[in-house]
């Protein structure tokens, strides 16, 4: 008994001629489809069609389309690839009339002779995979691999790729040169462009804009072999002698500098204005030298003990007033002497206003104990408590007590 509202003529046995319509490439009816092995002769990049020639009977089909895992006519939605000439494919001639199309692509056989295997293989340059792996690979080596186990690998070469690992949600980047450009600045990391030897120099440069609309960057961090350090201003504007003394011809390994508008935001190149416009510069050499210059106030707040251990000399220079205050005690100790001097002015001890001693000044001396003396050849005694006058023969009149 036929289904309701269904005509029996729609249920023809497979292979039986149909009465619905005829086709372009075979007679009417649901006859068997044909699959031919072929190769791509030409590609139409505008129409997304190809010309093919079958391998065994040399039949040619022109401007036929290529099948895809999924396509939809809405704005080119789908998954597809543009074929290349000489790719080996399977051409399907459908039953019941539709035009031929490329059904799939296959790999030609290649001879393999190894100790473990002899015969034909179909790897065709594809790297060995694991069961369940899904891969996309371009002619030039770029690839996307969905590894079994959830790992995703995207890359252009083995040393320019990113790996997503679901375990602990890890993202691993592998690169020879790394660049990241952002509205806030940029990052460049890798081999320096000027390196040509067998042991190339590397450098990490990161720039920062304080405001996204600024053309130039204000802050730069350079790590590695710093090839273009921020120049130190000459004269009183900088500390060129101290800068050169710290470097001593050694390469800079780390430099942090703030120079408003002084750096190219994309490359980190130092602008000519950075030398005079640097507000802060901190650098370290590979040998452990360090240099800091700050144009603004610097404050250090330490809650615990601060200790400085030096194996060499220590020097502090100041163009203003040096103040050292302690809520307890200040102790100065030296093994080989203690020098306190003032080029101008006085040395004041405990707020004193009178000189400790003045050369040539008259002073009164009170005799604390009897002193035997001889006057005119006769013995005598200066009794204790006597007051005598004299002149100061040595001393520093600028020391006040």
Place of tokens 């350079």: 222
Query: What confidence score (pLDDT) does residue 17 get?
Result: 47
> Is a pLDDT exceeding 70 seen at residue 9?
no
Between 335 and 401, residue with greater pLDDT:
335
pLDDT for 222-255, tens place per residue?
999 999 999 999 888 889 999 999 999 899 999 9
Query: Which H, E and C letters describe the chain, residue by residue?
Result: CCCCCCCHHHCCCCCCCCCCCCCCCCCCCCCCCEEEEEEEEEEECCCCEEEEEECCCCCEEEEEEECCCEEECCCCEEECCCCCCCCEEEEEECCCCCCCEEEEECCCCEEEECCCCEEEECCCCCCCCCCCCEEEECCCCCEEEECCCCCEEEEEECCEEEEEECHHHEEEEEECEEEEEECCEEEEEEECCCCCCCCCCEEEEEEECCCCCCCEEEEEEEEECCCCCCCCCCHHHCCHHHHHHHHCCCCEEEEEEEEEEEEECCCCCECCCHHHHCCEEEEEECCCCEEEEECCCCCCCCCCCCCCCCCCCCCCCCCCCCCCCCCCCCCCCCCCCCCCCCCCCCEECCCCCCECCCCCCEEEEECCCCEEEEECCEEEEECCCCEEEEECCCCCCCEEC
Which structure tokens are listed for 111?
């001879």
C-beta separation of 280 from 293 below 8 A: yes
The CATH 2.40.50 domain(s) of the chain lie at 8-105
- Segment 200-224 shows an average pLDDT of 95
- Segment 351-379 shows an average pLDDT of 79
pLDDT bucket at 347, cuts 50 / 70 / 90: confident
> Is a pLDDT exceeding 60 seen at residue 22?
no
C-beta separation of 94 from 77 below 8 A: no
How far apart, in whole angstroms, are the C-alpha atoms of residue 65 and residue 51?
9
Query: What confidence score (pLDDT) does residue 376 get?
Result: 81
Query: What confidence score (pLDDT) does residue 11 get?
Result: 40
- Residue 278 neighbours by CB under 8 Å, 6+ apart: 230, 233, 257, 258, 259, 262, 293, 295
Q: Note the CATH architecture for domain 8-105.
A: Beta Barrel (2.40)
How far does the chain reach from its first CA to its final CA, in angstroms?
Answer: 131
pLDDT for 277-303, tens place per residue?
999 999 999 999 999 999 999 999 999
CA-based nearest residue to 356, from 347, 365, 366, 367: 347
> Is a pLDDT exceeding 70 seen at residue 209?
yes
- Residue 199 neighbours by CB under 8 Å, 6+ apart: none
> Is a pLDDT exceeding 80 seen at residue 206?
yes
Between 32 and 397, residue with greater pLDDT:
32
- Segment 64-76 shows an average pLDDT of 93
How far apart, in whole angstroms, are the C-alpha atoms of residue 123 and residue 129?
10
Global pTM reads 0.66
CB neighbourhood size of 220 (10 A): 26
> Is a pLDDT exceeding 70 seen at residue 124?
yes
């Amino acid at each position: 008994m036929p289904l309701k509202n269904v005509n029996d003529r729609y249920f023809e046995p497979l292979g039986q001629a149909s009465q619905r319509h005829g086709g372009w490439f075979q007679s009417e009816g649901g006859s068997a489809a044909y699959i031919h092995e072929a190769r791509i002769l030409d590609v139409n990049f505008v129409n997304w069609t190809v010309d093919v020639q079958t391998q065994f009977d040399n039949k040619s089909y022109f401007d036929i389309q290529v099948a895809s895992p999924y396509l939809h006519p809405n704005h080119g939605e789908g998954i597809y690839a543009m074929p290349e000439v000489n790719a080996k494919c399977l051409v399907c001639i459908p039953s019941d009339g539709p035009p031929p199309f490329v059904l799939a692509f296959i790999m030609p056989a290649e001879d393999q002779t190894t100790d473990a295997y002899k015969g034909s293989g179909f790897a065709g340059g594809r790297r060995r995979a694991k069961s369940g792996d899904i891969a996309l690979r371009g002619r030039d080596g770029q690839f996307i691999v969905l590894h079994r186990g959830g790992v995703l690998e995207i890359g252009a070469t083995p040393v320019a790729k990113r790996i997503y690992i679901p375990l602990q949600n890890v993202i691993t980047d592998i690169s020879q040169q790394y660049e990241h450009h952002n509205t806030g600045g940029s990052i460049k990391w890798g081999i320096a462009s000027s390196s040509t030897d067998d042991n190339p120099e590397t450098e990490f440069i990161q720039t920062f804009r304080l405001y996204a609309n600024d053309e130039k960057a204000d802050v730069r961090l350079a790590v590695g072999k710093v090839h273009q350090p921020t120049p130190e201003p000459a004269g009183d504007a900088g500390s060129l002698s101290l800068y050169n003394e710290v470097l001593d011809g050694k390469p800079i390994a780390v430099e942090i500098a703030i120079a408003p508008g002084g750096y190219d935001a994309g490359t980190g190149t130092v602008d000519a204005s950075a030398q005079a416009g640097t507000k802060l510069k901190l650098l370290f050499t590979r040998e452990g030298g360090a240099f800091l210059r700050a144009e603004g106030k610097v404050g250090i707040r330490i809650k615990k003990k601060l200790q400085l251990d030096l194996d060499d000399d220590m020097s502090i220079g100041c163009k203003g007033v040096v103040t050292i205050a302690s809520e307890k005690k200040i102790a100065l100790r030296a093994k080989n002497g203690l020098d306190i001097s003032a080029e101008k002015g006085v040395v004041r001890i405990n707020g004193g206003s009178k000189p400790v001693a003045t050369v040539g000044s008259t002073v009164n001396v009170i005799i604390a104990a009897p002193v035997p003396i001889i006057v005119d050849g006769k013995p005598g005694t200066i009794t204790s408590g006597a007051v005598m006058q004299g002149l100061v023969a040595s001393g520093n009149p600028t020391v006040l007590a």
